[in-house]
Amino acid sequence: MEAFTIIYTLLGGLGLFIFGMKFMSDGLQAVAGDVIRKIINSLTQNRIMSVGVGLLVTCIIQSSSVTTVMTVGFVNAGLMNLAQAISVIIGANIGTTITGWIIALKISRLGLLLIGVGFIPGLFSKTERSQHLGKAILGLGFVYLGMHYLGLAFNSLHESPAFMESISYFTLGTSGSYFASILMGCFLTMVVQSSTAMLGLTMALATAGILPFHTAIAFVLGENIGTTITAFLAGMGANLNAKRAARAHALMKIAGVVLVYIFFKPFLHVVENILPTDPMQTDNSGHFSALALHIAVAHTLFNIIVAIIFLPFVHQLARLMTKLTPERQEKEVPHLLVLGDPSIMLPAASMAQAESELRKMKEIIERMYRLTREFWFEDYADMKKLAKIIDYERITDNIHKEITVFLCYVMEKPMSHHQSEQIQSMIKIADELESVADYIERLVNYRERFKGTETLSGDSRTEFFQFLDEVWEFFQLVVKGLDSAEGLDMDKIESKSTELQLWADSMREKHLDRISKGAYAPVTALTYSDMVVALRKIRAHSMLMAGAIENFHAKHDN
């Protein structure tokens, strides 16, 4: 094969491989978007559960780099602590090894078949789920087709004495050549910024007989270090904890590689004995087909070793990272938008972050209500509580703006129709929460009108507090749906909403009757009317929010 033919076959095969991995990943993400979001939301302090989250998410999206970037983003936003992040990254490192097994199956002859099977639902299906599943199958077909053309190109290179001579040092089987192979694998992965692409190239080189078994394993070790550059880049503009998570990732990989390098020969021996086949056994076409499976075993074994070593010590590693990356003088505040462009993140992961921010917003409003009730119930106006309530309202404004801008950016990414509807619902929920906070603040400001002889007393005061508590109970009934779909009882919510509407009308009529009898001064009468209107608005916005929450949790047949 001529040099030009080798080059375009190599580049074309690599392009098909990378395009196929992205296509497959996008399809799987769209099919399993809700699953990913629920998995992320299930994060707990349990390190085993966190490892499971990282493993499952990475198996679905087929990229540990995306998972680690996502994890750094969660730490940056204050939604995950450092120890949790390290556990998730450990799981992601194990999860990414499934890609090696997919490639090592060596069923490139099925590439065209998978493309043929995948494009039919991918292009012609009327349901979104079938379209995305077809897309994933189509992507897998491109992966195997790309590996086939990479094999053709490398077979020709294997027959070139000049090329084999240029890489001869890496194949010597000495400590120096192993170290050089590790460095080369690390460097190339940093340049390509895809350990998956480099793993595919390494397997293709080994299967073609260009890289011997020991050299290929050394390359894989280097690729494991090189893949940490993605998390490093993600952490550059982030806060301290995000930087610590990225550095912990690199430290675990480097320490694991150093350990395996020291015991490299025993490690090779273990890998050889896990599978019954000889790694240097050739098939009928002269390819070292068994070698790809041994590389996949080595990749998985290395990451399991790293997990076994570091998982019991995640808290100690977190403390070490804290010492190595000390805090600056200024205090950092967790903030959603310091993640930068959310287009680099999974839509499902971005949605999980926004959900968490909505819950924070709800908690702030709950604190606003408690302070407001105390402020009104006391005989004197506590200016400290007033300032705190106003500050809380300002915070809800900022969070509302953050969530809206963030989710609008997220909607620019490819996603399913269901995810798009869910994001629109989340924006609506944020709008309604912010409106509730506005009317709580108005209730506080209305007290400023009561000066001197102007005061709220008697039946009107009693009815106001009763209605305030009932409206708040209604709000709490609605926001239960933010935690789970099971917490949203729409029948009860609609019934309660109607009851509150009638109650508000009754209160105003009673109050007008008292005014006609001269029981209250004009300013007091007007203020009381405004207070009831504010509570009615809180009810109305809560009801609108209930509809948005119901739509968010709705199951769509795609």
What confidence tens digit (pLDDT) does each residue in 486-503 have? 888 889 999 999 999 888
Whether the pLDDT of residue 282 is over 50: the answer is yes
Whether the pLDDT of residue 543 is over 70: the answer is yes
What is the predicted pLDDT for the residue at 334?
45
Query: pLDDT of 113-171, one tens digit each?
Result: 888 888 888 777 877 778 888 888 888 888 888 888 887 887 777 777 777 787 888 88
Whether the pLDDT of residue 223 is over 80: the answer is yes
The CA distance from 203 to 103, in Å, is 8
Within a 10 A sphere around the Cβ of 68, how many other Cβ atoms?
28
Whether the pLDDT of residue 558 is over 80: the answer is no
- Which of 24-33, 267-276, 475-484 has the lowest average pLDDT? 24-33
For 42-172, strand residue ranges (E) read none
Residue 425 tokens read as 């619902």
What is the predicted pLDDT for the residue at 356?
81
The CA distance from 147 to 250, in Å, is 29
- Which of 26-30, 47-51, 55-59 has the lowest average pLDDT? 26-30
Q: Averaging pLDDT over each range in 2-16, 37-51, 468-482, 525-539, which range is the top one?
A: 468-482
The CA distance from 507 to 418, in Å, is 42
What is the predicted pLDDT for the residue at 329?
45
Are 415 and 390 in contact by the 8 Å Cβ rule? The answer is no
Query: Which of 77, 78, 367, 80 lies closest to 57, judged by CA?
Result: 80
Query: Which of 213, 247, 253, 204 lies closest to 96, judged by CA?
Result: 253
Question: Is 425 or 210 the better-scoring residue by pLDDT?
Answer: 425
What is the predicted pLDDT for the residue at 195?
77
Over range 432-441, report the average pLDDT: 94
Q: What are φ and ψ of residue 452, in 5° steps?
A: 65, -120
What is the predicted pLDDT for the residue at 336?
46
The helix or strand, by DSSP H or E, that contains position 388, with its residue range, turns out to be: helix 383-410
CA 138 to each of CA 115, 267, 422, 474: distance values in angstroms, whole numbers, following the listed order: 5, 36, 27, 49
Check residue 327 and report its DSSP letter: -
Q: 3-class SS at 453?
A: coil
Whether the pLDDT of residue 255 is over 50: the answer is yes
Residue 407 tokens read as 């989710």
What is the predicted pLDDT for the residue at 143?
84
Report the sign of the C-alpha dihedral through residues 182, 187, 190, 196, in that order. Answer: negative
Over range 400-425, report the average pLDDT: 85
Domains and CATH numbers, the chain: 3-324 (no CATH), 346-553 (1.20.58.220)
Question: Is 413 or 481 the better-scoring residue by pLDDT?
Answer: 481
What is the predicted pLDDT for the residue at 234?
60
Residue 199 tokens read as 């793993």
The helix or strand, by DSSP H or E, that contains position 291, with its residue range, turns out to be: helix 289-310
For the chain, give the longest Cα–Cα distance: 109
- Which of 103-112, 205-214, 356-365 has the lowest average pLDDT? 103-112
Rounded to two decimals, what is the model's pTM? 0.69
Query: Which of 121, 114, 171, 120 lies closest to 148, judged by CA?
Result: 114
Report the sign of the C-alpha dihedral through residues 215, 221, 222, 227, in that order. Answer: positive
Residue 339 tokens read as 């993640």
Query: Phi/psi zone of residue 382: left (φ > 0), alpha (ψ -120 to 50 degrees), beta?
Result: beta
Q: Give CA angle at 487 (481, 491), nearest 5°.
A: 95
Please report which confidence band the pLDDT of residue 342 belongs to, taking 50, 70 and 90 as the band edges: low
Who contacts 490 (Cβ-Cβ below 8 Å, separation ≥6)? Answer: 546, 550
Whether the pLDDT of residue 452 is over 60: the answer is no
- Which of 46-55, 258-267, 424-433 has the lowest average pLDDT? 46-55
Over range 444-458, report the average pLDDT: 68
Q: Chain-wide mean pLDDT for the chain?
A: 81
Buried/exposed code over 258-270 (b: 16+ C-beta within 10 A; e: otherwise): eebeeebeebbee
Whether the pLDDT of residue 258 is over 60: the answer is yes
Whether the pLDDT of residue 524 is over 90: the answer is no
The CA distance from 253 to 93, in Å, is 9
The CA distance from 166 to 152, in Å, is 20
- Which of 26-30, 100-104, 247-251, 416-420 has the lowest average pLDDT? 26-30
CA atoms within 13 A on the CB side of 481: 25
The CA distance from 197 to 63, in Å, is 11
- Helix axes 82-95 and 289-310, enclosed angle (nearest 10): 160
Over range 317-330, report the average pLDDT: 77
Of all residues in the chain, what percent carry a pLDDT higher than 90?
Answer: 22
What is the predicted pLDDT for the residue at 79?
65
Place of tokens 């995810």: 419
Whether the pLDDT of residue 341 is over 60: the answer is no
Whether the pLDDT of residue 460 is over 80: the answer is no
Whether the pLDDT of residue 519 is over 50: the answer is yes
Whether the pLDDT of residue 357 is over 50: the answer is yes
